[in-house]
Structures are given as structure tokens and as C-alpha cells.
């Protein structure tokens, strides 16, 4: 099992001073994670989504983390591949360079950037995105494997050598962001690792794991992306772990409410996120109201209400509580089929000191518990 942290750079206060502080906080948290035995620091890529995600240049953030650490891996979860957002040649060059400098500690996830707010900033229509992402994800690994590349499709590349080549042979492990069963099928059928985003309960993760494993086992050689099949499912786990269970749950659910409302604002035209300090039952009630508003919006716009619509509002399975609570939740996610836990410890309303305490508790109690189980099973 792998135990990792994923970052969005989410914040309530978007002033320049606080924005700078959030980035410094993430660095401090990542350095602590390396000390305590975490496996990887993952970064999203989003653009123009105020409050929800300010990590628009993950290649810079991850390079800084890799340079400040010695052991922990770094992962793109994900690079957005529409051509105007990230030209495939530049992606191949950046990924290979960081893989060299980190001596093979890099993981490469691919995805879309799924809102008109983001793709429109780069002059790309949403109906153009999928085809561009598909073409780019197949093309980039060929740049690492061939001395010279030439390509003529949705994008034209004249005969050129692409440098440098990655440290990992043949290239870094590749992944795909997944939110629905159809995307899990795509990831599995193309031999990619699956990064399952969203606040899914263990039962939902189990369903998605089954879809992914089936697609991976039945994949065709001609559908393989890259030259290094990667059967690996990583599942998001929003986490606040404190000695005081009631305090952890209040802080965690409040953070999840901010997360859900901020993404609903950008993805579904809902109201801006709120930060009022409510008790747990009141927070749960507000989360339900927010979900109902989003579903109503989708219905009004004749957009299908799919299972992932509800994912950010799921509060039946969570890791908000004591180390024992976190262990129970992680056990359920592992039993559902996950190979890696993507701990989300930094949401907009969660104070830095709470994120630090959460990382300490995971590193001192949760990870050692599972490492001991692994050692006992090995013996």
C-alpha cells in the first residue's frame, strides 16, 4: 500500500499575502510527510478557479518539492493535455527533466481540465478537449522512446528529436484522472493507473475498482498508452485526524462543505462557498442543501445527474476523527481494492496547524499500523 497526499492549493482568503502563505504551508507539510514515511506528494492542475484550486503550475510546485526532499515521490494528478494548455512537446520535455533531476521519483497523470472556465481561458471548446487529450497521451510516450518524432493529426509536429529522455526506463508510470465508471474503463483499457477523485465511500470505490480491474485485464495491446502498463488504483480520502474526535469532525466536515460548494460554484453555477462556523449537524444539513441545489441546476440544464454528481457530498464514509477512526476508514478503502490512499489534508477552511497535526497522526499511527500488518503478512 502507498500512502500519499494530494494538493489543490485551496483557500478562503485569496489575498496575495495569504496565497503566498498557503504555498509555504504546503511545502512545510510536504517536508513533514517525507520525514514520516509518506510515499508521494501529488498535485492537481487547475486554472482560473478562484478559491477552489490555485495550483495552476504543478510542474513548478513538484519540482520545488523534489528539490527539497530526498526520498518521497512527486506526482502530477494530473497534467491537463488540451494542446493550448500544455503542448505535448513541452509536457514530454518537462516530465523527462523532472524525472532526471528527481532520479526517477516522478509519476505522470493525464487529464482534461473539465470546465469552460478553464479550457475557455486557453481558447479551447469543451467539445474539442477529449480528442486532444487522447491524441496527446498516446503521443508523449513515443517522444520518450523514439530518437525523432513526426506526427500529423489534430496537431502537426514536423520531424524533430525531443530531449531529454526520462530517468525511468522506459518512462515514468502513467495515470489518468477518473470520476465516473466510463473513465475508469478508459484508464483500465489503456493500461493506465486510475486516480479516483471525489469523496467516494468504500462501496463506491469497490464498484469502480471492479470496473477498472475488468477493463485492465481485458485490454487490447493496440489500446495501451505508453510502454509501461500500470495496474494501480489510487483513491481520495479527505482526512482530519486529531485526538479530539468532535473537533476533527467539525473541522473536516466544514472543510468538505467548502470544497463541495466551491467546486459546485465553478462546475454547476451554484452559489459561492460559505465559511460560517456551524455545528456538525448544521454542516451536514448545509451540505445536503448544496447537493440539492446542484442536482436542480443540472436538471434545469438537461444535464444527466450521474453518480459522481453526489461524490463531493458523501459523508457516510470519512476519515474525520481520531487515529483509530482514520485506520478504520483506510481499512475499508483498502478492502474495496485501492492500491494507494490519496489523503486530502488541505481544504480551504482547514488551518495549517490542523493539517500538520493530521499528517503527524497519520505518520505516527496510521501508516505504522498498516506497515506492521504488511510485515506480519509477509512473515
According to the model, what pLDDT value does residue 31 have? Answer: 98
pTM here is 0.92
- DSSP H helices in 269-349: 280-300, 323-335
CB 376 within 8 A of CB 17: no
Domain residue extents for the chain: 2-243+319-378
Q: What is the pLDDT of residue 201?
A: 83
Please give the angle made by the CA atoms of 106, 112 and 113, to the nearest 5 degrees: 100
Q: What is the mean pLDDT of each run of 10 residues along the chain (379 residues)?
A: 97 96 98 98 97 97 98 98 98 98 98 89 95 98 98 98 98 94 95 90 91 98 98 96 96 90 80 69 63 47 43 64 96 97 95 98 98 95
Structure-block grid coordinates of residue 268: 454547476
Using left for φ > 0, alpha for ψ between -120 and 50, and beta otherwise, residue 321 falls in: left
302: left (phi over 0), alpha (psi -120 to 50) or beta: left
Contact call for residues 275 and 246 (beta carbons, < 8 A): no
- What CATH number labels 2-243+319-378? 3.20.20.30
What does the pLDDT read at residue 189? 98
Per-residue model confidence (pLDDT) at position 305? 36
One-character DSSP codes across 127-171:
HHHHHHHHHHHHHHHHHHH-SSEEEESSSEEEEE------SSSS-
Amino acid at each position: 500500500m502507498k500512502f500519499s497526499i494530494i494538493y489543490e492549493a485551496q483557500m478562503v482568503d485569496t489575498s496575495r499575502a495569504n496565497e503566498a502563505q498557503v504555498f509555504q504551508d504546503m511545502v512545510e507539510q510536504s517536508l513533514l510527510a517525507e520525514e514520516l514515511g509518506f510515499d508521494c506528494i501529488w498535485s492537481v492542475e487547475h486554472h482560473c478557479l478562484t478559491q477552489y484550486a490555485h495550483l495552476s503550475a504543478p510542474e513548478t510546485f513538484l519540482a520545488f518539492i523534489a528539490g527539497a526532499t530526498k526520498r518521497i515521490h512527486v506526482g502530477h494528478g494530473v497534467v491537463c493535455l488540451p494542446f493550448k494548455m500544455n503542448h505535448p512537446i513541452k509536457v514530454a520535455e518537462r516530465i523527462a527533466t523532472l524525472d532526471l533531476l528527481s532520479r526517477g521519483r516522478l509519476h505522470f497523470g493525464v487529464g482534461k481540465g473539465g470546465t469552460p472556465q478553464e479550457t475557455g481561458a486557453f481558447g479551447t471548446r469543451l467539445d474539442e478537449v477529449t480528442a486532444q487529450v487522447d491524441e496527446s497521451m498516446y503521443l508523449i510516450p513515443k517522444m520518450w522512446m523514439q530518437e525523432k518524432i513526426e506526427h500529423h493529426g489534430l496537431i502537426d509536429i514536423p520531424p524533430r528529436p525531443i530531449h531529454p529522455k526520462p530517468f525511468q526506463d522506459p518512462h515514468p508510470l502513467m495515470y489518468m484522472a477518473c470520476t465516473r465508471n466510463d473513465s475508469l474503463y478508459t484508464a483500465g483499457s489503456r493500461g493506465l493507473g486510475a486516480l479516483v477523485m471525489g469523496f467516494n465511500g468504500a462501496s463506491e470505490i469497490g464498484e469502480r475498482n471492479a470496473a477498472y480491474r475488468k477493463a485492465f485485464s481485458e485490454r487490447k495491446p493496440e489500446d495501451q498508452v505508453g510502454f509501461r502498463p500500470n495496474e494501480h488504483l489510487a483513491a481520495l480520502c479527505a482526512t482530519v485526524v486529531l485526538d479530539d474526535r468532535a473537533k476533527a469532525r467539525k473541522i473536516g466536515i466544514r472543510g468538505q462543505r467548502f470544497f463541495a460548494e466551491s467546486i459546485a460554484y465553478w462546475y454547476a453555477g451554484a452559489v459561492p462557498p460559505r465559511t460560517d462556523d456551524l455545528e456538525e449537524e448544521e454542516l451536514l444539513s448545509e451540505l445536503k442543501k448544496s447537493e440539492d441545489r446542484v442536482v436542480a441546476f443540472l436538471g434545469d440544464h438537461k444535464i444527466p445527474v450521474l453518480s459522481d454528481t453526489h461524490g463531493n457530498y458523501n459523508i457516510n464514509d470519512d476519515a474525520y476523527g481520531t487515529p483509530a477512526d482514520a485506520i478504520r476508514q483506510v481499512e475499508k478503502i483498502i478492502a474495496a481494492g485501492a492500491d494507494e490512499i490519496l489523503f486530502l489534508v488541505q481544504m480551504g477552511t482547514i488551518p495549517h496547524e490542523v493539517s500538520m497535526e493530521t499528517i503527524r497522526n497519520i505518520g505516527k499511527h496510521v501508516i505504522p499500523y498498516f506497515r506492521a500488518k504488511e510485515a506480519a503478512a509477509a512473515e
